[in-house]
Structure 1
Amino acid sequence: MVPDKSAEAPGLLQSFERRFLAARALRSFPWQSLEEKLRDSSDSQLLLDILQKHEAVHSEPLDELYEALAEVLTAEESTQCHRSYLLPSGDAVTLSESTAIVSHGTTGLITWDAALYLAEWAMENPAAFIDRTVLELGSGAGLTGLAICKTCRPKRYVFSDYHGRVLEQLRENIFLNGLSVEPGVTPPLQHPGCGIPDLEKPAVTVAHLDWDLVTVPQLSAFQPDIVIAADVLYCPQTILSLVRVLQMLSACRKDRPALDAYVAFTIRNPETCRLFTAELGQVGIRWEAVPHHNQKQFPYEKPSEMGMLKLML
C-alpha cells in the first residue's frame, strides 16, 4: 500500500513541535525527513506553506535569524529552562528543569526517558489509576505524576523524593500545572492554560522519602493502591535501598490483596537490571516484564532500550 503522503506532513510538523516545546537539541530534530519531504515533487504543499510564510514577511528574514542567533550565542547561560510535553488530549505538562544533567549534587532536576516511557504506558492504561491512590518513588521533576494527574483521574497522588532542591522544584512544577499541594501550602498564581477542572483534580501530596531511613508505619500511612517508579535503577546501592522500600510496602499489606508496582527503566547496563530482579527474588517479591509499547507520544533524548517490570508486593 502506498503511504498517505498527505498524512505525513502533519506528523512531521508535530514532531518538530514536540521537540521544540520540550527544548530538545536541534541535532535531534528530524531534519533529514524534512529535507526528503521538501524534495518530493509529488507533494509540494509543505514547501508551499513555507514559501507563503516567507512571502508574508516584508523584511529579509535571514538577517533577523542571524541577529537572534548572535544574541543566543552571547547570552549568559541559564541554569533552568522550561519544557512542555504535549499530551494526547492536546493539553501539556510544563516543567521547570535544570539545564545540566547533574545540578545541586543530584540528577533529579531533569526529566529522564524512563519517566516519559512510564507516562506513556500510564496514559494507555488509565484504568490502573482511576480513583486510586498512587505512590511514586523518586518523582524527580514530576513529568510522570503530572501526566497521570491530568489524564488518568487518580483519587490521590503522592509524589516523593529525598533531595531538598528536587522537592522544591517538584512543588513549583505541581503549581505550574494548576494543582495544589496538601496540606497547608499556598500556591502562587496558576500558569495560564495549565489548569485542571476542580472536579477532576486529585488530592496531591509531596513527601520527603529517604529510602534508607523510612519505616513501615510511615509507608503504611500513604495507603497506596498502586506504586510506580521511573529511572531508579542506576547503581547497586540505590537498588538495595529500593528493594528495602518495596519489601516494607509489601509488609504493609499483610492480609490485604497484593499491591501492584510498576518500575520503568532505561537499559544502560543489563547487569544492573539482573541485580534488581535477583534482589527481588531474595526477598520473595514476584515480578513479570511488561510488554513494550510504542514510544510515539514524547520526544526522547536519544534512541534507547527501555524496560518495565510489574511487581506484586
Structure 2
Amino acid sequence: MLQKFTNSFFARTPISKLDWQLIDENLSQSSELDLLNGNEDQMFHCQENILNATVNHPLNLKYPLPEIYIHSFLKALINKVEKYPCEIHYQVLEKYTNLVCKNLSDIESGYRTFIIDESTSISLKENISIISDGTTGLCTWQAAFHLAEWCIANRERISGMAIIELGSGAGLVGLTCYKMCQPRFITLTDFHPKVIETLRYNLKNNEVITSRSGSLIQVQARNGNDLEADLIVASDIVYDEELIPFLVGTLVKLLQPKRNVNKLPSAIIACTERNEETLERFLSELACRSLKYVHLEHAPVVFACERNYPVRIYEIKPILS
C-alpha cells in the first residue's frame, strides 16, 4: 500500500511533493478504528508501518538519505499525526529529537535510491546542492531519468551492444543499462575529477563488478571520442551554446563506422527544454555536420522524480553520402 510512497521517499522527492494524501488516508482510517475499539493500537501500528516504509526501511540503513531530509520528513509526519487524538509513536519522537540536536546545515551529500522493480534498485551518492565543487555533475538531472527509462523500454535493442555514455555524472543511466539491458560493454565518461571519483564510488556501491556474463563496465576521464561503440547515450549535455560545436564534433567522430560499414552506430540524446535557442542551435549544428536526427517517443515512467520541464529524446545518425 505504501510502496509508491517508499519509492518517492528514497528518490528524495521534495517533502512537500510526497503523497501526503495517502498518509492522511492511512492515519484517518486507523484513528476511526481506534475510536471504535477504545484504544490507540491501530494508530500505533500505522505510524510503525510508515516508519518501516521510510526511515526504518533496510535501504535507509544501507544507503542513508541525508539527515536534513529525514528531519524534514519526520517534522511533516509529526504535524500530520498531531491532527488526530493519539500519541505520537515513540520512535518518531526519538528520531526527530536526535536530529533536532544536530547541526544539519553542513551536510551536503547523501544517497538517493531509485527503485526500478521488486529486485532492482540503484543507489547513488549525490550532492544536495545543484552546483558543488565547481561542477553540476554530482547530482542527477531530469533528462537522465527519461533516457534511463528509454533504455529500459528498449532493452532488447541494447542487449549485446557496446555503449558509451557522455557526461555520465552520478551514473544513473549507465547503471540502469548495466542492471537492466545486458549490454556487451559500457564505457562511462566524464571530465571533472570529483565527478569521476563519485561515479567510481557509485559503481562500487551498487556492487558492479568488472565482468559479469560477458558484460563489462568501465569509467574514462575523457570525452570518449577515441573509443568505439554501437550506441552513444547522453543526457542534459546541451546547455551551453559555446560548447555545442565541440559536442557535435565528438558525436561526428563517435558515429563514424569503425569496422562494419553496414552497421553504423547511433546516438540517443535526451535534452531538457530550458532554452529553445540553445536546442535549435544544437539541431542546426547536427545538420551542418552531416548528422540526421529523429524525435523519439517517451518510454513508460519508471523512476520517481520531479518532471518540471519537457524533455526531448533524439536518435542521431550520420547522413550517408
Q: TM-score range by the shorter chain?
A: 0.7 to 0.9
Match of 1:101 among 117, 130, 135: 130
For the aligned residue pairs, the C-alpha RMSD in angstroms reads 2.9
Q: CA-to-partner distance for each residue in 1:27-48, whole Å, 9 max, x for gaps?
A: 121224544676689x99xxx9
Which residue number in structure 2 is paired with residue 237 of structure 1?
Answer: 242
Farther off after superposition, 246-255 or 85-94: 246-255
Q: Is contact 1:137–1:229 with CA below 8 Å preserved after alignment? A: yes
Cα drift, residue 100 of structure 1: 1.1
SS at match of 2:246: helix
Q: CA-to-partner distance for each residue in 1:252-277, whole Å, 9 max, x for gaps?
A: 54834321110012111222221111
Farther off after superposition, 153-162 or 265-274: 265-274
Match of 2:100 among 42, 55, 70: 70
Q: How many residues align?
A: 273
Q: CA-to-partner distance for each residue in 1:191-242, whole Å, 9 max, x for gaps?
A: xxxxxxx6446211111214xxx7xxx52xx320111001111111232221
Q: Give the 5 Å matches for 1:137-286.
A: 137-181=166-210, 199-200=212-213, 202-210=215-223, 219=226, 222-253=227-258, 255-286=261-292
Q: Which amino acid counterpart does residue 231 of structure 2 have in structure 1?
A: I
Which residue number in structure 1 is paired with residue 60 of structure 2?
Answer: none
> 4+ residue stretches of structure 1 with deviation over 4 A?
36-41, 48-51, 54-62
Farther off after superposition, 88-97 or 163-172: 88-97
Which residue number in structure 1 is paired with residue 71 of structure 2?
Answer: none
Q: Is contact 2:11–2:113 with CA below 8 Å preserved after alignment? A: yes
CA distance in 1, matches of 2:91, 2:117: 34
Say whether 1:118 aligns with 2:147.
yes
CA distance in 2, matches of 1:102, 1:55: 36
Which residue number in structure 1 is paired with residue 45 of structure 2?
Answer: 52
SS at match of 1:292: coil
Which residue number in structure 2 is paired with residue 189 of structure 1?
Answer: none
Q: Is contact 1:109–1:166 with CA below 8 Å preserved after alignment? A: yes
Q: Is contact 1:134–1:224 with CA below 8 Å preserved after alignment? A: yes
Structure 1 30/179 Cα, relative in aligned 2: closer, same or farther at 3 Å? same
Give unpaired runs (5+ residues) of structure 1: 1-9, 182-197
Match of 2:303 among 291, 298, 301: 298
Q: Which amino acid counterpart does residue 272 of structure 1 have in structure 2?
A: T
SS at match of 1:309: strand
Q: CA-to-partner distance for each residue in 1:153-199, whole Å, 9 max, x for gaps?
A: 01110000111111111111111111245xxxxxxxxxxxxxxxx64
Structure 1 38/54 Cα, relative in aligned 2: closer, same or farther at 3 Å? closer
SS at match of 2:263: coil
Q: Is contact 2:130–2:136 with CA below 8 Å preserved after alignment? A: yes
Which residue number in structure 2 is paired with residue 289 of structure 1?
Answer: 295
SS at match of 1:119: helix
- State the identity %: 28
Q: Is contact 1:232–1:238 with CA below 8 Å preserved after alignment? A: no
CA distance in 2, matches of 1:37, 1:270: 44
Cα drift, residue 293 of structure 1: 2.7
Structure 1 55/168 Cα, relative in aligned 2: closer, same or farther at 3 Å? closer
Structure 1 20/131 Cα, relative in aligned 2: closer, same or farther at 3 Å? same
Structure 1 285/67 Cα, relative in aligned 2: closer, same or farther at 3 Å? same
Q: Which amino acid counterpart does residue 209 of structure 1 have in structure 2?
A: R
Cα drift, residue 51 of structure 1: 5.1
SS at match of 2:169: coil
Q: Is contact 2:255–2:267 with CA below 8 Å preserved after alignment? A: no
CA distance in 2, matches of 1:134, 1:247: 16
SS at match of 1:229: strand
TM-score normalised by length of structure 2: 0.76
CA distance in 1, matches of 2:315, 2:28: 46
Which residue number in structure 2 is paired with residue 26 of structure 1?
Answer: 15
Q: Which amino acid counterpart does residue 101 of structure 2 have in structure 1?
A: E
TM-score normalised by length of structure 1: 0.77
SS at match of 1:251: coil
Q: Which amino acid counterpart does residue 14 of structure 1 have in structure 2?
A: Q
